[in-house]
Structure 1
């Protein structure tokens, strides 16, 4: 039951009015005024009572809602527990079922590249004089517009222990070249990593990177002359990462050696071995470096290249023996406080030294060869490149590269013994090829890049090829980060 409440003010007024009435009888005006005051007092009492009743009603409603909310929370908690138990049961059930074909969900990306080339010299006659032709894609490419290789990449974790990667190069002229296809361990432990299949070797610094990640349109001359542009093979790799603050990595590879400087021997076992070691670290918050030493040893058999003898006839020269290549590489990267988004600079270089010894045979009809002769062959040659790339503002970069090859010493037994002459081996004439390149590129995003490159190429004896390249690189889909 509701009990009326009175304020102290109202009670005081009531008592005052009662006291006044007891003293004297009011006249008509006083009586009228007192009546009005009583009416006002009653109105005030009713207003206060209504407000108090409204507040009590709101309080009761709030208490009711709080009870309902608490009950709902309890019910929701129970429902969540049941849902979790149901999900765990379903997951356990799925783990016991065989994997369906549509459950496989690899990362897929597509790399699109294209160029416009303006070349002073005919690219069909391109050669690196003084160095054994590699039969690789070492030329500057075709004149005018050219579609580059379209690279299709699929990769995924097979299970908690293995990862698979497949990279197919779609040729512009048609056909598919399986560039990389390998499995790689994820959990050997103790810093070990194992890879098997077809892959680019960890030899040197640039070799392991795909062409779309290069800072220039083409590979340095040393890579073209000594590795046929890039060395890859079918085989296995084992690498170990030391548990030290300074980055230290040591690895070894063994494979079939089907690409230059080796040949496919059609034999059991391995024909090519690679050893490499990488060391690196940070210098303050803005600088990082890495240095490496690599070794490639192989024994090519019947490695053949074409030449033109002194009679003007096309001949085949064939080498069999041992080939040993050492590479010393280094890279220094600078970015203010480790943030390369605005400005950064990379200085990169590699030194190559190769020795080969064995026999060189020719089918030339010149001299005393008579179409079938052979003699000893020994060579010691080297080469290097140095490049710097500077990002001077977000998305914009400029780069400069100098390439040089040193002819060294080349002893051809057939020419030395007078069976043939030096003019019967024009490709192997003494020459120190050089090239200078400058590039500018713009990257609207991490998925696209546009580049212009100017080069003065003096790879051929007595020839200078002024080259202009325009290139685009576009990446569709997810693509793994590139290595340091």
Structure 2
């Protein structure tokens, strides 16, 4: 019994020592395994860093192209857009561009091979985006109530071609213009864009379809195809960006609502702190005040000069002067005779339209998200000279014809709280005194058309707008036309930055 007790004590004391020896061995094994894992992790991390650098280097040309195309639309992400402010053009007012939608960031969870292949493909021009241009769809429509029939809408003293898109449109419920847009970079030197318009009567037209340079440098850019002319302030903008439902009377009477043409446009932005932009256009002369003709020469040319800048941190401005010269050949115009009956005539000659435009914007400390104010005005002067034929059956004798007409509008839009705006516009036309060399049976008018409009709109987001507008339209000599319009506008897909 006495021998068994020391042996038991020795055995009990030796067990923890053995266990400690086994535990120490396990710890060393774990430490060794952790070292192997750490070395493997560091190697993988270094490889990923090298791949990120390679991807950034491959993506640099695409970023350069995007920066050079100041007005290139930004695609909205499928997972839900976030707000990102577009950078203004050098020398332009600091808050001149609108907020655009940018895609939300997605977590990096793709395999390592895919993370390298995608940027390389994009840099070579063969990536998925090469075959998937940015798409946009503008939906609009509403309800219009007028006190006079829109079917016989005229602007007294201003003869226009048959079917001119003027006036308030159809009464009652109607679908407005639906606009489908495409845009994408072609390669490091060009980008392309197209806008297809579907009218309420189901007619389809191509508003714009052009290619534009992105890397000429020295402030130059060249555009070719079909596009809205850069004359004035309102003309280059698509109608869904206008602050009122319709174009001013001066635009309707002297530019056929909005002047677009097939041709080329060269622009130059001066590389100085102050914003200065010069533009030159040459085109076919497709639409009023010109008319399409079969010849090798240009039927239209235009010159534009715009400048602007900041006044402190809360005010910005832009002003400009433009000149558009268009030729017409046997252009059919609708007049009224001495008793007010419609008379058709053919005009051949030259039209020159001058446009003075100015815009001033105010936002406290340059932040326009909560409240802001915009004052905008333009003055248009049209000079037409040539010959007129009143008997369009071929028996008429050309008579010398000339007239100088003018018009202006002034409007202010105030955002008094987030998402809500109110606006007021007043406008007037002067038809001038037409000169006829022979007794054509046509008469001028001393009546000066005018119009006053007030609107209020609610913008739940930058992609949607609901607008109510009331106007007293005195374009026709006689009883005024009281017009009430309710309009909705919805933007789907890519949403490019708006111009100043």
Q: TM-score, normalised by structure 1?
A: 0.81
Partner of 1:114: 141
Post-superposition Cα deviations, 1:41-65, rounded to whole Å, max 9, x if no partner, equal xxxx9xxx99x99998998687446
1:57/1:103 CA distance change after superposition, 3 Å: same
Distance 1:340 1:145 in 2: 34
Q: Is the 8 A contact 2:346 2:392 kept in 1?
A: no
Output the CA distance in 1 between the equivalents of 2:496 and 2:235: 17
CA distance in 1, matches of 2:127, 2:370: 46
Aligned to 2:417: 393
**2:472 matched to 1:456?**
yes
Which SS does the other structure have where 1:222 is aligned?
Answer: helix
Answer whether contact 1:109 1:475 (CA < 8 A) is retained: yes
Query: More relative contact order in 1 or in 2 (CA 8 Å, sep 6+)?
Result: 2
Superposition map of 1:16-95 within 5 A = 63-64=31-32, 66-77=34-45, 80=48
Whole-angstrom CA distance in 2 between matches of 1:395 and 1:96: 40
Distance 1:102 1:58, change over 3 A: closer
| C-alpha distance after superposition, 1:307-339 (max 9, x if no partner) | 454588753211111211110000001111111
Verify: 1:284 aligned to 2:312, yes or no: yes
Deviation (angstroms), 1:83: 7.0
Structure 1 stretches lacking a partner, 5+ long: 1-44
1:474 aligns with 2:442: no
Q: Secondary structure at the match of 1:76?
A: helix
Q: Which runs of 5+ in 2 are unaligned?
A: 1-12, 55-112
* Runs of 4+ with >3 A deviation: 52-66, 77-103, 307-315
Q: Which residue of 1 aligns with 2:397?
A: 373
Instruction: Select between 82-91 and 340-349 the one with higher mean Cα deviation.
Output: 82-91
- Provide Cα deviations, 1:105-151, integer angstroms capped at 9, x if missing partner: 10001000102000000001110001122442012101001101110
Q: CA RMSD in A?
A: 3.3
Change (3 A) 1:362 1:90: same
Conserved 8 A contact 1:129-1:430: no
Whole-angstrom distance in 2 between the partners of 1:375 and 1:81:
79
Match in the other structure for 1:128: 155
What's the CA shift string for 1:164-212, capped at 9, x where partnerless?
A: 0010001222231011000011000000000000000000000000110
Is the radius of gyration larger for structure 1 or structure 2? Answer: 1
Change over 3 Å in CA distance of 1:439–1:58 after alignment to 2: farther
Aligned with 1:324 (options 332, 352, 355): 352
**CA distance in 1: counterparts of 2:301 and 2:279, whole angstroms:** 11
1:367-403 deviations in Å (ceiling 9; x for gaps): xxx9623321111111100000000000000000001
Cα displacement string for residues 214-237 of structure 1 (whole angstroms, at most 9, x for unaligned residues): 000000010000000000000000
Give the one of 235, 240, 244 matched to 2:272.
Answer: 244
Aligned pairs, number: 427
Given that residues 135 and 180 in structure 2 are in contact (C-alpha distance below 8 angstroms), is that contact kept between their aligned partners in structure 1? yes
Give me the TM-score of the superposition, normalised by structure 2. 0.78
Pairwise mapping of residues 3-402 of structure 1 onto structure 2 (< 5 A)?
Answer: 63-64=31-32, 66-77=34-45, 80=48, 99=126, 104-135=131-162, 136-309=164-337, 315-363=343-391, 372-402=396-426
